Amino acid sequence: MASVQQIADLSRKIFQRLPQRHTASGNKVISKQLKGDKVASWFQKPLLVRLGGDDPNFAILNQERLGRLDQMKRRGKSIPKKGAGKRSGKK
């Protein structure tokens, strides 16, 4: 006659069940549907993509902006580098 343990082992093999250990295994969390897409869709897209990204008109506008910045740098009117502002000279 087969023991209860042997019958339980045989049952697990036949029905492909995991042995029950009465401890938290994490299977409930693992089997849940993934939330990554929902979380990613909650946040805004990066600014470059929102403003045009690969759009040729956007590229032209960006070139004009960079040209204006370059002119201002040559005239000495551009924004200071990070940490090189008004207060840095007072130290």
Radius of gyration of the chain (CA): 32
What domain range is 72 assigned to? 44-78
Rounded Cα distance, 86 and 33, in Å: 53
Say if residues 21 and 12 touch (Cβ distance below 8 Å): no
- Report how many domains make up the chain: 1
The more confident residue out of 34 and 56 is 34
Say if residues 17 and 11 touch (Cβ distance below 8 Å): yes
- pLDDT at 73 exceeding the cut of 90: yes
Query: What is the residue-averaged pLDDT of the chain?
Result: 82
- pLDDT at 72 exceeding the cut of 90: yes
In a domain, 15, yes or no: no
In a domain, 68, yes or no: yes
In a domain, 59, yes or no: yes
In a domain, 1, yes or no: no
Rounded Cα distance, 53 and 59, in Å: 8
- pLDDT at 16 exceeding the cut of 80: yes
pLDDT at 86: 76
pLDDT at 41: 85
